[in-house]
A = this chain, B = another copy of it.
């Protein structure tokens, strides 16, 4: 991933306003990527704003402008809130299929999916517990609240477990058959497994 400046990019047909918006979104994304990279490798307290800025190819004041301060940036990085919104955005009867497709599309198009970050919790030291708590509250419990019947909380954990495993097999273990299979085919096979935990019987 190349470094990007923070001024209007010369490429693209849109006017300077759109270019500026695009560029500011790209800068924010670069800052978040840099913070995630560093948090996965260093203790929270050892990471300076300058180090994040350098890795992201932006200035430290720009980070302050976008995120306020270092703690607010890290809290944003540790959140699953915006991921969960899109991940859980389907009627319950179709939710298994939606989550599987959403995860596979994310992996295929961006090399990342909405929930895979949880597997790196052990690297974050004390921050790892924040990541875990966010994950459980923002993804697992939010799913569990939508389920009815016995053991909704356990069933939500098992459903999310199957999805994490699919993400690890695709993005980390890099299973070659999974990666070359059509998303529709994998969704047809895997969605019923997830759905059976959501709406059993």
> Is A158 in contact with chain B by the CB < 8 A criterion?
yes
Whether A164 touches B173, Cβ cut-off 8 Å, given contacts A119-B119, A193-B193, A193-B196, is yes
A window 128-151: CB within 8 A of B: 132, 135-136, 140, 151
Question: How many copies of this chain does the complex contain?
Answer: 2
> Is A106 in contact with chain B by the CB < 8 A criterion?
no
A175 to B174, CA, bound (A): 25
In this complex, which of A140, A155, A162, A196 has the most chain B Cβ atoms within 10 angstroms of its Cβ? A162
Structural contact, B122 and A172, CB atoms closer than 8 A: yes
CB-nearest residue of chain B relative to A139? B173
> Is A76 in contact with chain B by the CB < 8 A criterion?
no
| Count of interface residues, chain A, beta-carbon cutoff 8 Å | 40
Interface string of A110-123 (1 = CB under 8 A from B): 00000000110111
Q: Which residues of A are at the interface with B, using a C-beta cutoff of 8 A? A: 40, 118-119, 121-123, 132, 135-136, 140, 151, 153-155, 157-158, 160-166, 168-170, 172-178, 181, 186, 189-190, 193, 196-197
Known A136-B174, A154-B177, A161-B162; further 8 A-B contacts with Cβ < 8 A: A40-B123, A122-B172, A132-B172, A132-B174, A153-B177, A157-B173, A157-B178, A161-B175
